[in-house]
Amino acid sequence: MADTAERDEPLTPAGRLFLQPQLDQVINCAIAVEHGVDADAIKAEIRSSIMLKNPRFCSLMVRDSCGREHWRKTQVDVDRHVILRRDSLSDDPSISDEDAVNDYIADLSVSSPLPTDKPLWEVHLLMARKTALFRVHHALGDGISLMSMLLSCCSRGDDPSEKPTAGGVGAAAAPRRRWSVWMLVRLIWYSLVYLLGFVLRAFWLRDETTAVSGGAGVELWPRRLATARFRLDDMKIVKGAVAHATINDVLFGILSCGLSRYLDVRSPKALPEGLQITGVAMVNLRPQAGLQDISKLMDSKSGTRWGNQFGMLLLPIYYHRGGSDPIEFVKRAKAMIDKKKLSLEAPLSYKIGKVVMSLFGAKAITMHMVSYAGMANMQILAAKEIIPDPKVLAKCFEDALLEMKEAAEINAKS
């Protein structure tokens, strides 16, 4: 008993947050290959990989008599974690590989939580669709930790002895600010305003009901998954049309514009101009930008450590009717995000994250984006009853970027 107590390690507040019933966040990462999936080779790679040297991937999540969660080291049976699916996932031969895999992931997201009698990760090998699906509970680590580890488990195609690199992945390092009394006053003011906004929205304020509003128990509703694809070069053209804008400003402008366009299609009655829809965004709080050296992440004495290091921002999206200048969406997004960056909302929310998420709970729409090889892919996971046509929403986002690009090119010529 004493030995077990010594080996058990309490979960961090962020880890406990992701285990709350309203959230229970599982990350699904699908990797398609060209020549088919070799199950034996994948199992062998996992057994020899750095993943099984990571304590989080070799530990059970257990609860003590008071309900507090702990990590307990255990032996990993790789065969229990690698799940083979040899069927085509669908009886309809016309369904594409992407749609079949998306439907499979959407179903897993609500029907199959990760079992707690083994470490909280699995690899599903979808043999007929030539796809490997990596499922890992968010309590094990944040996106930076997990993406850094995944990259360290891979080898270069042209030189298997070398590890691949992903230069430019992750946010660029923020420029060093020159602080002034006025900036300090603004920081205090914005921090107080946004913290008050958290409290008011948690207890009293509610968004008006729209076609994309959720309801009680939305985290258990069946889901659908779709992908919106953006060319990074197009996003850079739009970025250049707004002084000092960032790719994140453009992305949030796309969300605002695309969602407004979708509401124009779905809403049976006209919505008031400027209607607010509030989202929750996670923000990386690591001092180092982008992906990390996995050896440093696993070294407890290094300045950067494994785990969940993120804050949360309330990001309001405002509805504007069709015909609005698409570049204005980016300008409004930049103005709002600049104020958020100057506040302490993200680090403060990290401290009160469990309270925030227990109050806000799950959302009807969840979106994640990964950029690679000149493209940015946004995954849209939505409750079927709320967003029955997520491909239409994805198209609205894609069209929003193209409208912005066209407007930016016209402005550049004038």
pLDDT tens digits, one per residue of 85-101: 999 998 888 999 999 99
For the sheet with 121-126, list strands across it: 26-32, 131-137, 121-126, 82-85
392 and 315 share a domain? yes
Q: Is residue 158 part of a domain?
A: no
Show which of 110, 140, 170 is a domain's final residue. Answer: 140
247 and 372 share a domain? yes
- Report whether pLDDT(301) > 70: no
| Res 229: pLDDT | 96
Using an 8 Å Cβ cutoff, are 242 and 334 in contact? Answer: yes
**pLDDT averaged over every residue in the chain:** 85
CATH code of residue 90: 3.30.559.10
211 and 98 share a domain? no
Among 80-84, 110-114, 200-204, the range scoring the smallest mean pLDDT is: 200-204
Rg (CA), the chain: 22
Q: Which amino acid is at 12?
A: T
Q: What distance in Å separates the CA atoms of residue 27 and residue 258, rounded to the nearest whole number?
A: 25
Q: Is residue 151 part of a domain?
A: no
The CA–CA distances, whole Å, from 213 to 96, 305, 387 equal 30, 37, 9
**pLDDT tens digits for 36-61?**
899 999 999 999 988 898 989 999 99
Q: Is residue 177 part of a domain?
A: no
Q: Is residue 307 part of a domain?
A: yes
- Report whether pLDDT(5) > 60: no
CATH code of residue 231: 3.30.559.30
79 and 200 share a domain? no
215 and 350 share a domain? yes
Q: What distance in Å separates the CA atoms of residue 213 and residue 234, rounded to the nearest whole number?
A: 30
Residue 92 per-residue DSSP state: -
Phi, psi values for residue 81, rounded to 5°: -95, -20
Domain count, the chain: 2
**Percent of residues in the chain assigned helix, strand, coil, to nearest 5:** 45, 20, 40
Q: What distance in Å separates the CA atoms of residue 24 and residue 29, rounded to the nearest whole number?
A: 16
Q: Is residue 136 part of a domain?
A: yes
Which range of 200-209, 261-270, 289-298 scores highest in mean pLDDT? It is 261-270
**Domain coverage including residue 268:** 182-413
- Report whether pLDDT(4) > 60: no
Whole-prediction pTM: 0.85
